Copies of this chain bind each other. A is one copy, B any other.
Amino acid sequence: MTTRWLSEKEQRAWRAYIAATHLLEDAIDRQLQQDAGMPHLYYSILANLSEAPEGRLRMTDLAERAKITRSRLTYAVTRLEKDGLIRREDCQWDKRSSFAMLTDEGMAVLERTAPGHVETVRSLLFDQLTPEQVEQLEEIFSGLAQTLERDEERPTPEDVPWRRRSSGPCS
């Protein structure tokens, strides 16, 4: 099979995407580390909990929502628990499961730091976009998220029979 290389335009789009996503994530991490003492992922975990009924979720569900592996979550929750922002609770009706639950202190940290986080996201991202672009962004990424999520479910569906190229590596 001959490779379908990226067009000029696609390459530009891809590079811009890589650069911007990395820079944005770095900037957000820095801000949150500064103001909340935790990286973005950990903040997201708290945020996810804060929106769940009773401020708690089973580990698996939380991992699912945060788009991370269970083991990564275990580590993160352990740290947040040490910090007193989360408490573990075991599930009554399924002895295997355990809940992660936001503590009052966790909620307080979230409330204290949310404005700064939102301001960062807004100033770095949304303030830079026109209303139409916000629309486009949502359209594009919600579509992508959906198909990527579907892909996620089947672990390596088919084989991977590619080889030999004749153009650039695309980064």
Interface residues of A (CB under 8 A from B): 3-6, 9-10, 12-14, 16-27, 31, 34-35, 43-44, 46-48, 50-51, 67-68, 110-112, 114-119, 121-122, 124-126, 128-129, 133-145, 147-149, 151-152, 160, 162-165, 168-171
Contact = CB atoms under 8 A, between A and B. Distances in A.
Contact of A136 (B26, B133, B149): B133
Contacts of A19: 67, 141, 145, 148-149
Contact of A35 (B14, B17, B20, B160): B160
Contacts of A129: 140, 143
B47 A171 contact: yes
B170 A138 contact: no
A26 to B, nearest CB: 8
The 6 closest A-B pairs by CB, nearest first: A13-B138, A23-B148, A16-B142, A16-B141, A114-B169, A20-B144
A121 to B, nearest CB: 6
How many identical chains are in the complex? 2
Given A10-B134, A18-B67, A134-B9, A144 B3 contact: no
Contacts of A51: 168
Contact of A114 (B48, B124, B149, B165): B165
A7 to B, nearest CB: 9
A12 B138 contact: yes
Nearest to A50: B169
Nearest to A133: B140
Nearest to A48: B171
A170 B117 contact: yes
Contact of A168 (B9, B10, B114): B114
